[in-house]
Structure 1
């Protein structure tokens, strides 16, 4: 569930990112202590720039673990597996469609017209490649396990991260 981004959350996000967060529409995932893990962003930033990364991973421990996994070279292995495993490819393509659907819902709720520049692009290399584990893990933390098989797989390799508060969903809190 995407929850409101309070002033305190915004300050935490700024500290986590080391910059002022852009396009924030809410917090998409939190730790058990309530700390933001993933921010939900608008598909178009305030300056008009299209922004495809709807679920932006912010928590330093998760970011570090994603970077560690990316540096290991595992993304090439997983990309090859998507090309060889039909069940995985179908599930990953479904994650891509789910990502696009939620981004469209977020844009509509924010009063934005369809962002045609990115309408067929999700994040992280979906639906055929593994390009950015940060984006895929952000999606898994936000949508809940069982939606993004590669994000879920990456999470299973992480050891030094705070626990997720609850099973996340992508429902908006109007």
Structure 2
């Protein structure tokens, strides 16, 4: 599934509400699903229903994945990634392309009149959750920071596993 999901079902909205512990705002689409089939990333409108600008186009909703990404953040991954941006020209160029792609996609929905995207792009890594959400929504090769975080979780056999990988029918 993914961004092609034109309609967000009532069941999906209820799942996301349970995941977040609150009613989601500005949900446009389910951008990615865990192997079990439940949403793990939503695509949001560039403006919330009350008109507030919301530059975060992709929002991570899966509680298990959120927790695992928080562990990577607290372990210093964002600092290490930001430091590499200053010395690795190829990584910095790929990260700039991720920023430009994110901005173009959001602006195609509605321009906020700003070059601010999300997660610190393109100069630093500020929120790994945003990068993981972007990587899951767009697939490998678009957001190098999100791809790296997902690869670390998979290498450590932390995700997908457990509740996220349970069959929805089970």
- TM-score normalised by L of structure 1: 0.86
User: Unaligned 5+ residue runs, structure 2?
Assistant: 166-170
Indicate if the aligned counterparts of 1:61 and 1:160 stay in contact, CA closer than 8 A: no
For 1:147 and 1:96, how far apart are their aligned partners in 2?
9
2:13 to 10, 15, 20: 10
For 2:91 and 2:136, how far apart are their aligned partners in 1?
19
1:161 is displaced (CA, Å) by: 2.4
Partner of 1:139: 134
Partner of 1:20: 23
Q: How many residues align?
A: 157
- Cα deviation per residue 1:116-137 (whole Å; 9 max; x = unaligned)? 2xx2011111101011000000
2:42 to 39, 43, 47: 39
1:73 is displaced (CA, Å) by: 1.2
Q: Post-superposition, which runs of at least 4 consecutive aligned residues in structure 1 deviate over 6 A? A: none
1:66 is displaced (CA, Å) by: 0.8
The answer to whether the aligner puts 1:155 opposite 2:150 as a matched pair is yes
Indicate if the aligned counterparts of 1:61 and 1:162 stay in contact, CA closer than 8 A: no
Partner of 2:119: 124
The answer to whether the aligner puts 1:89 opposite 2:92 as a matched pair is yes
User: Unaligned 5+ residue runs, structure 1?
Assistant: 108-113, 166-174
